[in-house]
Chains A and B, each alone.
Chain A
């Protein structure tokens, strides 16, 4: 009887842990280090190959902020200049109140969602470093 109760307790504990497990954060995993132009070029040259290398993986990308905008939920979207105006690296930041300036060189870490007609996409991003140029 005691064994069954203990087993049920363990199962309940596992289910609870899985149910409440936190989302994987960019800062908790090692990211692939790359520049914005190199990342965009990889997707521009061979999207399938680039997906194999970067899709759903943590990426640490450095580049110059070309533009910023807000999405419909008030989230900050940073576009990193990739040298290809049709394919910037588009980073949706996790922190909504983030203040960033155009022209700054930054390193952003996030998860790659692949690419679209508007750029190479990184989601759930954090700002790793910023320096004035």
Chain B
């Protein structure tokens, strides 16, 4: 197993000139090489190698599964119908979970008060509705008789996992399963968005510094060092103290804006190496512009090593968000994050094991999955770590 450490990615630098995708510098030269038919290119090759790693594939499958849960969370668990017909029109109230204003205001006007099942019947006997798979809510306790004759959620330390509450309930009586499913959105989006920001910023700054060199490099390198010195946790705490309504996007932005330095340094080193390569000289000789060379020819080749720290970064960002929510510095409550669940389990750890086990497992598995993917990616793209023969 390769180490997870980012520093182990440096040896990549040698193999780029050999890979095929770099062989198409000029769009005018459209006639493909004979070889192109036969070879599948660097990414294809990497994918093939990645596929051979069972753990990494399993992890990838898990992440895809989580992504689909995150995307369709309100359709899996919720108290708002996925689709309903009310007073002659079709509505999709569950969209309200994504954005408050997407839930049609007619339901507020008609005083539904977020309780659909009985109100739909009462206010329009003709109505019909398709409800999510599980009738539970991540933001409130389901009360007695809300859904036919079902009893309300138990509260306190009585919320043992049951038929109605698969993963139990927390002390307030909020369903843990509902919170975990909706929390997936937070966990995954925190990872993707923050690392998306970090990737874009890091690559741009690294590319500029590495490719342009000279005083730009000196300046940007100092800037990178400066940002490295900013502790993101302190910045987050300061922001949380300042803002009245902290959302996960604030956390994502801060994590993204402080964690790009590693990526930038890697990208800079890559660009510095690659710009010396013959194919770049060739591209330059063909008259390609500086930006074209940077982003079309160099960047593609620099991307692989940078993807690995991004993958690990996603795992780190998920941990940061859970950690912050656990400490109570996350998004404003009620925030159905996995870390929040852990926090509520902490006070009653001797009674409510389900508040620790389920979110704990989810965090563990997700972070593990990203690390496995990162590792798989690393080994699939790094010739020195290849286990298959050439």
- Same complex for A and B? Answer no
**Interface of A toward B, CB cutoff 8 Å:** none
